[in-house]
Structure 1
Amino acid sequence: MDRLDLSDVHILAHDYGDTVAQELLARDQARTGHDRLFKSVCLLNGGLFPETHRARLIQKLLASPLGSLVNRLTTKSRFDKSFSAVFGPDSKPDARALDDFWGLITENDGRHVFTSLIGYMHERRINRERWVGALIHCPCPIQLINGSADPVSGAHMVARYRQIMGDRDEIRALDGVGHYPQVEQPDQVAAAYREFLDRHSAAFSSHPPQNRDTPS
């Protein structure tokens, strides 16, 4: 970002991207002698706290020594079933959408990286203090948009978010929506995000970091 001379950056992230956003915030907060790079952060469903992340069976298998074998044996029909299971009850992807998602993850043999990427579950545990601390001490406005019906990072994760973030709990909970709110209810997500930006548009000024320890 420094090489590209970027400034006044607004983060909108989801799932694995939430973890990337947490690391970016941690790095930005560690910089000295620079203006803060990020002006706002909006996070969608993701494993912000390892203690509330309810990994699916397929994720646990991919992270195990059998991961490579499981990855090779995963068929389109198995993908359809496991992928649909994390959507809301009334917003399941149809056959065409499932075909599109499958096409995206298999493009250029994309599936071969699954067993490497799944390492983020372990990384979240060992970097918990750094990454949760980055949220707590985030100097800019921060919002959570969450599909409450997500079995992985839904309402139970929101409850933990409220505990940790205290009075900085700008949350838009979407009832009946699962792990992919931007796909299941794109209009609601877009409206919630625009409202968040509008609330802080007068001045995306830095909020002084809270002098709090990272909760365990």
Structure 2
Amino acid sequence: MALPGIALDAWRAQGRDFAFGGHAIRYWTAGEGEPLLLIHGFPTASWDWHYLWAPLAERYRVIACDMLGFGDSAKPRGHDYRLLEQADIQQALLAHLGIDEPVHVLAHDYGDSVAQELLARHEDGGFRMASCVFLNGGLFPETHRPVLVQKLLLSPIGALVGRRFDRRRLAASFAKVFGPATQPGEAELDGFWTLIAHNGGPAVMHRLIHYIPERRQQRERWVAAMQRSKVPMRVIDGAVDPISGAHMVARYRELIEGADTVLLDDIGHYPQVEAPEAVLKHYLAFLARIDERSSV
């Protein structure tokens, strides 16, 4: 049975704000139980999780925010956006909500890097993580294959490219990274673009894109944390994603002992949008297995 999702207007109406470093961060929370933190990707926002939101909220206290520079959160023009700061924002949100217990994390794309930082902090004693599941993302810089617009945003003309980024270019980029049979519809593209364009978002895209070199800077620390951690981890990955599909999973299996991976055939870069039912099934099975182990 298809998951109904949440219309963008209804989603936005449920959001609330908290302040971080003088900037307004929009966040959402629902449900009760163990905390489950959802971390979105680039260049979109937490609405990416709208198909999974209600089913997960039936079992967990789900929490998500639009990170700084994204969606309905502040997008300061001259800001030096950093993945480490985005991890700080996740921790500040949890503190704002009074959550100090171990947190499950489900992340995608750019959010994978934020989750890797949180995992490294867990290993250093600065965060409490109960589990971590990665959807398609650049877990290893050596396997990340950026699309053309990402390369251009990183170039000397990045600011100009960002300002000229529009719905048509978004649709063209997404057509290349979604699966051939799971392309986004016009209404979905409208929603994605509305959140990107809000509050002058294209003007900061060339600053946000510096997560790509930052991943290279943090690679050894993050991979080492993944290799030594006892936190249960799983990768659920759209196999035909040209950015971080089956080739990234192959590298994950090389580097992570006892790698727990699920490949979704014919699915691209946004599995939570393209195949939310499959993602939900494999995610809940992963959490159920953790519960079984803890009860033994």
Asked if Structure 1 and Structure 2 have the same fold, meaning a TM-score greater than 0.5 normalized by the shorter chain, the answer is yes
Pick from 269, 283, 293 the counterpart of residue 179 of structure 1: 269
Whose RCO is larger (CA < 8 A, sep 6+)?
A: 1
Q: State the AA in 2 paired with 1:194.
A: L
Pick from 103, 110, 118 the counterpart of residue 24 of structure 1: 118
* Whole-angstrom distance in 1 between the partners of 2:277 and 2:119: 27
The structure 1 segments of at least 4 consecutive aligned residues displaced by more than 3 Å after TM superposition are 1-5
1:108 and 2:199 correspond? yes
Instruction: Identify if the C-alpha distance between structure 1 residues 5 and 194 changes in structure 2 by more than 3 Å, giving closer, same or farther.
Output: closer
State the partner residue of 1:13.
107
Q: CA deviation at 1:96?
A: 1.4
State the partner residue of 1:151.
242
- After TM superposition, list the pairs within 5 Å mapping 1:1-216 onto structure 2: 1=91, 3=95, 4-31=98-125, 37-167=128-258, 169-204=259-294
Q: State the AA in 1 paired with 2:102.
A: D
* Whole-angstrom distance in 1 between the partners of 2:122 and 2:102: 12
Q: Residue deviations 1:92-145, cap 9 Å, x none?
A: 011111111111111111222211111010011111101111211222110000
Contact kept in structure 2, 1:146 and 1:154, CA below 8 Å = yes
Gaps of 5+ in 2: 1-90
Q: CA deviation at 1:203?
A: 4.3
* Whole-angstrom distance in 2 between the partners of 1:26 and 1:138: 9
Gaps of 5+ in 1: 206-216
- Answer 1 or 2: which has greater strand percent: 2
* Whole-angstrom distance in 2 between the partners of 1:63 and 1:187: 35
* Whole-angstrom distance in 1 between the partners of 2:144 and 2:185: 26
Contact kept in structure 1, 2:227 and 2:257, CA below 8 Å = no
Q: State the AA in 2 paired with 1:96.
A: A
* Whole-angstrom distance in 2 between the partners of 1:21 and 1:74: 27
Q: State the AA in 1 paired with 2:131.
A: S
State the partner residue of 1:212.
none
Q: State the AA in 2 paired with 1:77.
A: R
What number of residue pairs does the alignment pair up?
201
Q: Choose 49-58 or 77-86, whichever is displaced more.
A: 77-86
* Whole-angstrom distance in 1 between the partners of 2:165 and 2:278: 33
* Percent identity between the two aligned chains: 50
Root-mean-square deviation (Å): 1.6
Q: Choose 46-55 or 2-11, whichever is displaced more.
A: 2-11
Taking structure 1 as the reference length, the TM-score comes to 0.88
* Whole-angstrom distance in 2 between the partners of 1:57 and 1:204: 45
Q: Residue deviations 1:180-204, cap 9 Å, x none?
A: 0000000000010000000110345
Q: State the AA in 2 paired with 1:68.
A: A
* Whole-angstrom distance in 2 between the partners of 1:61 and 1:76: 17
SS in structure 2 opposite 1:115? helix
Q: Residue deviations 1:137-166, cap 9 Å, x none?
A: 222110000000100000000000000013
